[in-house]
Amino acid sequence: MRLPEFLRTTTFQWTLTIAAVFIAASLVLVAYIYHQSMTAGQARVDSALIQEVRNALADDPGDAVTRINARLMDDPRRVRAAGLFSRDHGVIAGNIANFPEPFTPNLEISSIAIDRNDGNFIEKQEVHAVGAELPDGNIYIVARNFDDFLPFQDSLINILAVALLPATLLTLVCGVILSLRTQNRIEDINRMAQRIMIGHLDERLPSRGTRDDFDKLVDIINTMLDQTEHLMREVKGVSDDIAHDLRTPLTRVRAALERGREHATSLEDLRTAVDKGLSGIDQALGVTTALLRLAAIEHGQRNAGFGEVDLGSIVQAVVELYEPAAEDKGIKLFSGGLNHLGLRGDRDLLFEAISNLVDNAIKFTPAGGTVTIELVKTDDNLILRVSDTGPGIPVAEREAVFRRFYRTDKSRNLAGMGLGLSLVAAIARLHGFRMHVADSLQGCAIEMICKPTAA
């Protein structure tokens, strides 16, 4: 059987729990009241019984029968009993039919059963009894039955019923109402979530402005949605950029092939056209490869390749790889600073990042210039700096260059750029470095900075 929806809400479950706790607490309280009242009442009666026997002991034994009769005279609730017995337990006076067994007349309370004699019939009664031997040898017993306490018990149960049942019902009703409210709230959120899911990404979950738990939750989810929307827009922007970066070379390919097909007059002409086409396609492939690598690095799949590496030796390897290219271009390539610097990282990726920086620097530096790679350790930071004497990066563009597809206008005509620096930035992030374009008197200085690890 399926429970109605609202009965399954957390709110209702809590209501049930609270109702149960409330009922249990009330029962304990009533039980305590009952127990306290009973014991206090009985204790009062017990001490009166003992006092009565003491009085009888102090009195003339000859008056015992009179005392008993006086005690039994006014007892409409039939709770008092008393008896005077001879030394051999014969009845002398009172309404106790026979000497109770076992019973010791030692001035102490005992809970026993007696046979109560009301003249015309005999009844068994549970009593508290006290007895003592009088100076003349007779035994004097007084007793008290507690059946008259029973109505108090009944009234307590009545109070319980009258107070507890409505209170519990009221709690449950409140629980149902609160649950329905909760459910409505969830339904509202659900409706809006459905709309968002089918693509209305600019919509937000409804908040009531009451700063309650739901509002807090809604705020959290809305912030998440803001982030998602932002990312989606970014992805869309990136897709546009990808389309641009692929279309540009593909357009060239198309034009080259078309012209070659229409106008080539020799095999050599045709070959030239095809070569142009191939180089355009290679450029387009380069873009896709770089994008895939960027995605892989940004998703951190390459942490697997981490180990102890020496940044100094990587710098040396980069210098060795690029020195001939720099020399051919009439550029001096220097390395400076520390020769060794150990850290945890991926050797291949770090090599690729530094290569990228050096590659760019050489590309943008005119003949006669210099490119310098430095590895510096300051008090707080570890800096790898690649500086050159090229045209530099305008202050306004310094943060933007690490974004995907960003290009300064000057570099637009240089092939294979655009993604290079964002690849470097991704690798840097993976290693806990941040990228920074430093102020430089002339040219450009790009820094990878990180806090040295404790090790």
Partner 1 sequence: MISLAHDQESAPRMTRVLVIEDDPETAGEILAELSSHGFDVDWAATGRDGLARAESGNYDIMTVDRLLPEVDGLTIVENIRSSGIKTPVLVLSALAEVDDRVRGLRAGGDDYLTKPFALVELTARLDALLRRPADPRETVLHLGPLTVDLIERNAKRGPRELDLLPREFQLLEYLMRHAGQIVTRAMLFEEVWHYRFDPRTNLVDVHMGRLRRKVDAGGEPPEPPMIHSVRGTGFVLRAPS
- Number of CB atoms found within 10 A of residue 265's CB: 7
* E strand spans, 151-304: none
- Number of CB atoms found within 10 A of residue 392's CB: 20
What distance in Å separates the CA atoms of residue 10 and residue 183, rounded to the nearest whole number? Answer: 10
* CB of 325 vs partner 1, minimal distance in Å: 5
In the region spanning residues 394 to 453, those forming contacts with partner 1, defined by CB under 8 A, are 416, 420
Number of alpha carbons in the 13 Å side-chain half-sphere of residue 394: 7
Are 340 and 312 in contact by the 8 Å Cβ rule? The answer is: yes
* CB of 352 vs partner 1, minimal distance in Å: 5
* CB of 368 vs partner 1, minimal distance in Å: 18
Q: Does 301 participate in binding partner 1 (rule CB under 8 A)?
A: yes
| Candidate residues 197, 304, 367, 396; the one interacting with partner 1 per rule CB under 8 A | 304
* CB of 426 vs partner 1, minimal distance in Å: 13
* CB of 447 vs partner 1, minimal distance in Å: 21
Short-list 77, 79, 98, 76, CA closest to 89: 98
Q: Which is nearer to partner 1, 255 or 325 (CB)?
A: 325
In single-letter form, the type of residue at position 144 comes to R
* CB of 343 vs partner 1, minimal distance in Å: 19
Q: How many residues bind partner 1 (CB under 8 A)?
A: 28
In the region spanning residues 250 to 289, those forming contacts with partner 1, defined by CB under 8 A, are 275, 278, 285-286, 289
Q: Which is nearer to partner 1, 302 or 332 (CB)?
A: 302
Are 104 and 172 in contact by the 8 Å Cβ rule? The answer is: no
Q: Does 118 participate in binding partner 1 (rule CB under 8 A)?
A: no
| Candidate residues 325, 338, 376, 383; the one interacting with partner 1 per rule CB under 8 A | 325
Q: Which is nearer to partner 1, 218 or 253 (CB)?
A: 253
φ/ψ region of 368 (left if φ > 0, alpha if ψ in -120 to 50, else beta) reads left
Number of alpha carbons in the 13 Å side-chain half-sphere of residue 228: 14
Q: 3-state SS of 431-451?
A: CCCEEEEECCCCCCEEEEEEC
Which of the stretches 105-113, 141-149, 337-345, 346-354 binds partner 1 when contact is defined by CB under 8 A?
346-354
Strand order in the sheet with 91-94: 91-94, 80-85, 139-144, 122-133, 110-117
φ/ψ region of 146 (left if φ > 0, alpha if ψ in -120 to 50, else beta) reads alpha
Q: Which is nearer to partner 1, 27 or 278 (CB)?
A: 278
| Candidate residues 212, 320, 397, 399; the one interacting with partner 1 per rule CB under 8 A | 320
| Candidate residues 4, 166, 300, 305; the one interacting with partner 1 per rule CB under 8 A | 305
| Candidate residues 85, 103, 322, 433; the one interacting with partner 1 per rule CB under 8 A | 322
How does 343-352 read in b/e, with b if 16+ C-beta sit within 10 Å? bebbbebbbb
| Candidate residues 167, 321, 338, 376; the one interacting with partner 1 per rule CB under 8 A | 321
Are 80 and 143 in contact by the 8 Å Cβ rule? The answer is: yes
* CB of 278 vs partner 1, minimal distance in Å: 7
Q: Which is nearer to partner 1, 69 or 355 (CB)?
A: 355
Q: Which is nearer to partner 1, 130 or 427 (CB)?
A: 427
In the region spanning residues 349 to 368, those forming contacts with partner 1, defined by CB under 8 A, are 351-352, 355-356, 359, 362-363
Tell me whether residue 211 is exposed, middle or buried, using C-beta atoms within 10 angstroms of its C-beta: 0 to 12, 13 to 18, 19 or more: exposed
434, β-bridge pairs: 449
Give the residues lining the site for partner 1 (CB under 8 A).
275, 278, 285-286, 289, 292-293, 296, 301-302, 304-305, 320-322, 324-325, 328, 348, 351-352, 355-356, 359, 362-363, 416, 420
